Amino acid sequence: MQPHTLFWMLLGLAAYGYYLGRKRALTVSGGEIRRLHSLPDYYGYYVALWCALPALAILSLWLLLDDKIILRWVLAELPPAYRNLPPDRLSLTVNVIANLLAGERQANTVDPALAEAAEHYRHLKQLGYHALTVLVFACATAALTWAHRRISPTLRARNRVETVVRIALVASSVLAILTTIGIVLSVLFEALRFFEMVSPLEFFFGLHWSPQIAIRADQVGASGSFGFIPLLTGTLLITAIAMAVAAPLGLLSAIYLSEFAKRRTRAIVKPILEVLAGVPTVVYGFFAALVVAPWLRDLGARLGLSISSESALAAGLVMGIMIIPFVSSLTDDALTAVPRSLREGAYGLGATQAETITGVLLPAALPGIVSGLLLAVSRAIGETMIVVMAAGMAAKLTLNPLESVTTITVQIVALLVGDQEFDSPKTLAAFALGLTLFVVTLALNLVALHVIRKYREQYE
Amino acid sequence: MNTVITERHTTPDLETDDHRTVGDYTLAEPRFTCRHVNVFYGDKQALFDINLDIGQREVIALIGPSGCGKSTFLRCLNRMNDIIEGCRVEGDIRLDDQDIYAKEMDPVLLRARVGMVFQKPNPFPKSIYDNVAYGPRIHGLAANRTELDEIVETSLKRAGLWKEVKDRLDHPATGLSGGQQQRLCIARTIAVNPEVVLMDEPCSALDPIATATIEQLIDELRSRYTIVIVTHSMQQAARVSQRTAYFHMGRLIEVGETTEIFTNPRHPLTEDYITGRFG
Ligand SMILES: Nc1ncnc2c1ncn2[C@@H]1O[C@H](COP(=O)(O)OP(=O)(O)O)[C@@H](O)[C@H]1O
Ligand SMILES: [Mg+2]
């Protein structure tokens, strides 16, 4: 039987186990559920879990290992001419066998010994599935019968089931954490390899970024330069422009929504504002490139300024619009969460609405506002599409918003598109940039968390 | 005499009877005069034809079962109802013979003259000093820092909190105990030098010791301010007030000297309420 059929059969059996367990629990209770330690459902789950889990463990272990074991057997029986090959040649042979098995090569085009090996492999594999089927079903039925027998009114079925559930919960969160750690470590190690080729000093303090690596060592510009400062200034410049747009607009609209708007207006306006965050960034990108940038250029021409058609300003403005909801939504939530009693306290002292907002509500809502702003900043730093489309790819070291600049994320993309050697500094530079970006956003998040914790206790 | 006794055993139907407040609600030298006050929340009427004078430098207690409109009435006196959507106030309320609902009356200035202390202590999430200084600052009561320091100090002294906090004025006010927070709120209110202080169940969130401190404070404040206090504790009303007004279902049932109301209530509803709680 094929493993996936086996899997579904097993689930079916477990469902049947649930039914049996529940029924038996009702039988042993003599119709009085209160005599049971747990509700009948738990006895059902208890049997089902016993039926499914050990068998599933065998199944997955088998699937994990069978290819390797069978391959070793097959190779061991090859003629000595093949057996004694050096490892890299041997892997070629294995490839031939694999191709035969996948039907990508015909048996008559290769050495008959290999064709025979492939046939042998197929045979063993099939045999393995038969054995697996017998094993899994034997295990599942045995466990089912055993668990079913154990059911009695005193069996603490609920506690057992809950233990399993708890283990599953812990396992999921551990998996999530391990994945994160894995990603960080892999980025870290690749970045370290990069720093073996390019000194960190050059990377972090270099003023010139042009990662073009020659294909042949004797070409002109054989070693690119990896100064990261122009990317940093570009990122900061665009983020600053975006925040200059998003912070005031977001704050003011949040104040309007929470303090001035009627409930009906608010119910309509708030979702519309939040849609801004849901527009795909590529749409913002072409809006910036095709509408805002030309408009800025024309405006500049009329004012006697030369604004390049790809400018930090265009990208920053549009990005600012995009991140308004991060600011406005969190600020609005924070303002609405300020207790009514504080508002009344201020009004009761004769504060005007403006004085209440600036003197009491905004300070009280500060943690929420700061975290909104920082969220917006990290969103802006990580944004790629708008910059690619509207600010260009040129790594210029400038703080002039009218010129074209590039950012860290854009350069990561630029480094990785196209065919790459995986050990060239050019490719590895992407990991170094990624690591830097990660550290920066992590630091921002930590600051945000700290601010929130520090001020959260200030009002109930 | 006979009629009074029969009255005591039939609870009048307030929905249909045209109720007249028992007791004399007028005063010779009133600070507040309220006449024919009706309050509506949307379509629902919360107060019905309230007539009441509030005197100079007296403590008047508003009592009654919850939901009877005590807070609503209190909030009419400094126009706090203005900030509730859908709330409408009718009638004539005068402070020192000035119509407080007149067009030319600025509610912001009114609230500086009529301060308010709330049920739950609500200090701002600022330092102790800044809490007390908040009102004087927004009303420009101090020309410089020394004057502001003085206002803060006297207010805290009057609220009986100075000794406890004088070494930690820059600490967050939220770190104080509940009773201290409520006294801070009183200090914050009197720092703007109001004529009247409204208190809406100021002790209901406090323990008995803190309550006793606040009651003593109210007694001391009486020499400078008119105090209107809502309370659900009749013992408290008896201890701190000179006059008491009993509300029931949006009507002002009876008003009079506190000792009179508690020893010799004239309206059966008042008596039921008072004996119910005491007995
Ligand atoms: N903001 C409001 N909106 C609608 N109805 C209210 C509001 N505040 C109070 N009420 C109603 O007005 C009546 C009087 O309330 P309130 O003055 O708070 O009573 P008390 O302070 O005596 O307990 C109650 O029936 C209450 O339901
Ligand atoms: Mg109340």
Q: A388-414: per-residue pLDDT in tens?
A: 888 877 778 888 888 888 888 888 888
B68 CB less than 6 Å from ligand 1?
Answer: yes
Same domain, A418 and A288: yes
Does the pLDDT at position A416 exceed 90? no
User: Within a domain: residue A190?
Assistant: no
The helix/strand/coil state of A372 is helix
DSSP state of B175: G
B72 CB less than 6 Å from ligand 1?
Answer: yes
Using pLDDT thresholds of 50, 70 and 90, give the confidence band for residue A427.
Answer: confident
User: Within a domain: residue A76?
Assistant: yes
Distance B67 CA to ligand 2 centre (A): 7
Same domain, A132 and A249: no
Residues of chain A with Cβ-Cβ distance to B124 below 8 Å are 342, 345-346, 359-360, 363-364
Give the mean model confidence (pLDDT) for residues A103-128: 84
Does the pLDDT at position B117 exceed 70? yes
Q: Which residues, 6+ apart, have CB-to-CB distance to A32 below 8 Å?
A: none
Same domain, A254 and A149: no
Distance B262 CA to ligand 1 centre (A): 26
% pLDDT > 70, chain B: 92
Give pLDDT, residue A46. 94
Give pLDDT, residue B210. 85
**How far is it, in rounded angstroms, from Cα B273 to Cα B246?**
9
Taking CB atoms and an 8 Å limit, are B116 and A344 in contact across chains? yes
Distance B231 CA to ligand 2 centre (A): 9
Which CATH number does the domain housing residue A358 bear?
1.10.3720.10
Q: Which residue, by CA, sits nearest to atom 14 of ligand 1?
A: B69
For residues A45 and A75, which has the higher predicted lDDT (pLDDT)? Answer: A45
B88 CB less than 6 Å from ligand 1?
Answer: no
Same domain, A239 and A346: yes
User: Within a domain: residue A172?
Assistant: no
**How far is it, in rounded angstroms, from Cα B151 to Cα A457?**
28
Distance B201 CA to ligand 2 centre (A): 7
Does the pLDDT at position A444 exceed 80? yes
- Segment holding B199, helix H or strand E: strand B196-200
Give the mean model confidence (pLDDT) for residues A156-183: 95
Give pLDDT, residue A460. 43
Q: Please, are residues A164 and A49 in contact by the beta-carbon 8 Å criterion?
A: yes
Same domain, A255 and A401: yes
Exposure string (b/e) for A309-323, b if CB count within 10 Å is 16 or more?
ebbbbbbbbbbbbbb
Same domain, A149 and A267: no
Give pLDDT, residue A214. 53
pLDDT digits (tens, 9 = 90+) for B40-69: 999 999 999 999 999 999 999 999 999 999
Among B83, B123, B135, the residue with its CB nearest the CB of A350 is B135
Output Rg (C-alpha) for chain A, integer angstroms: 32
Check CB contact of A355 with chain B, cutoff 8 Å.
yes
Closest C-alpha to B123, from B160, B173, B169: B173
- For residue B30, the cross-strand partners are B55
Does the pLDDT at position A446 exceed 90? no
Among A342, A351, A364, the residue with its CB nearest the CB of B138 is A351
Last residue of one domain, picked from the residues A155, A171, A194: A155
Give the mean model confidence (pLDDT) for residues B124-147: 93
Which residues hold their Cβ within 5 A of ligand 2, which is an ion?
Answer: B 71
- For residue A68, the cross-strand partners are none
User: Within a domain: residue A398?
Assistant: yes
Amino acid at A78: L
Distance B69 CA to ligand 1 centre (A): 6
Q: Please, are residues B228 and B45 in contact by the beta-carbon 8 Å criterion?
A: no
User: Within a domain: residue A257?
Assistant: yes
DSSP state of B51: E
Distance B71 CA to ligand 2 centre (A): 4
pLDDT digits (tens, 9 = 90+) for B176-210: 999 999 999 999 999 999 999 999 999 988 888 88
Q: Whole domain around residue A305: which residue ranges?
A: 225-455
Does the pLDDT at position A213 exceed 70? no
pLDDT digits (tens, 9 = 90+) for B239-255: 999 999 999 999 999 99
Same domain, A34 and A125: yes
In the structure encoding, which two tokens stand for residue B110, read together? 């009114």
Q: Which residue, by CA, sits nearest to atom 20 of ligand 1?
A: B67
Among A342, A348, A364, the residue with its CB nearest the CB of B116 is A348
- Measured from the alpha carbon of residue B87, the closest ligand is 1
Taking CB atoms and an 8 Å limit, are A349 and B110 in contact across chains? no
Same domain, A239 and A112: no
- For residue B245, the cross-strand partners are B62, B255
User: Within a domain: residue A215?
Assistant: no
Using pLDDT thresholds of 50, 70 and 90, give the confidence band for residue A207.
Answer: confident
Q: Which residues of B touch A (CB under 8 A)?
A: 78, 80, 83, 85, 108-112, 115-116, 118, 120, 122-126, 134-135, 138-139, 172, 174, 185, 188-189, 192
Residues of chain A with Cβ-Cβ distance to B134 below 8 Å are 346, 349, 351, 359-360
**How far is it, in rounded angstroms, from Cα B185 to Cα B156?**
10
Does the pLDDT at position B1 exceed 70? no
Taking CB atoms and an 8 Å limit, are B124 and A345 in contact across chains? yes
In the structure encoding, which two tokens stand for residue B22, read together? 């028992």
For residues A220 and B5, which has the higher predicted lDDT (pLDDT)? Answer: A220
B69 CB less than 6 Å from ligand 1?
Answer: yes
Same domain, A137 and A255: no
User: Within a domain: residue A395?
Assistant: yes
DSSP state of B99: E
Work out how many domains chain A is built from and give that number.
2
| Cα nearest neighbour of A351 on chain B | B108
Using pLDDT thresholds of 50, 70 and 90, give the confidence band for residue A162.
Answer: very high
ipTM computed for the complex: 0.88
Q: Which residue, by CA, sits nearest to atom 6 of ligand 1?
A: B41
Residues of chain A with Cβ-Cβ distance to B125 below 8 Å are 342, 363-364, 455, 458-459
Taking CB atoms and an 8 Å limit, are A350 and B139 in contact across chains? yes
% pLDDT > 70, chain A: 96
User: Within a domain: residue A180?
Assistant: no
Looking from the CA of residue B64, the nearest atom of ligand 1 is: 22
Does the pLDDT at position A306 exceed 70? yes
Last residue of one domain, picked from the residues A130, A155, A180: A155
**How far is it, in rounded angstroms, from Cα A319 to Cα A324?**
9
For residues B15 and A398, which has the higher predicted lDDT (pLDDT)? Answer: A398
Last residue of one domain, picked from the residues A140, A155, A170: A155
Q: Which residue, by CA, sits nearest to atom 8 of ligand 1?
A: B72
B70 CB less than 6 Å from ligand 1?
Answer: yes
B110 CB less than 6 Å from ligand 1?
Answer: no
In the structure encoding, which two tokens stand for residue A251, read together? 């704050």
Does the pLDDT at position A274 exceed 50? yes
Using pLDDT thresholds of 50, 70 and 90, give the confidence band for residue B139.
Answer: very high
Mutational pocket test of ligand 1: of B41, B70, B233, the residue with most ligand atoms within 8 Å of the beta carbon:
B41
Same domain, A299 and A446: yes
CB atoms within 10 A of CB A426: 18
Same domain, A346 and A439: yes
Q: Which residue, by CA, sits nearest to atom 4 of ligand 1?
A: B41
Taking CB atoms and an 8 Å limit, are B118 and A458 in contact across chains? no
CB atoms within 10 A of CB A116: 15
For residues A252 and A99, which has the higher predicted lDDT (pLDDT)? Answer: A252
Q: At what angle do helices A40-76 and A3-28 cross, to 10 degrees?
A: 150
**Mode of pairing for the β-strands spanning B87-95 and B98-99:** antiparallel
Taking CB atoms and an 8 Å limit, are A341 and B122 in contact across chains? yes
**How far is it, in rounded angstroms, from Cα A224 to Cα A404?**
21
Give pLDDT, residue A354. 93
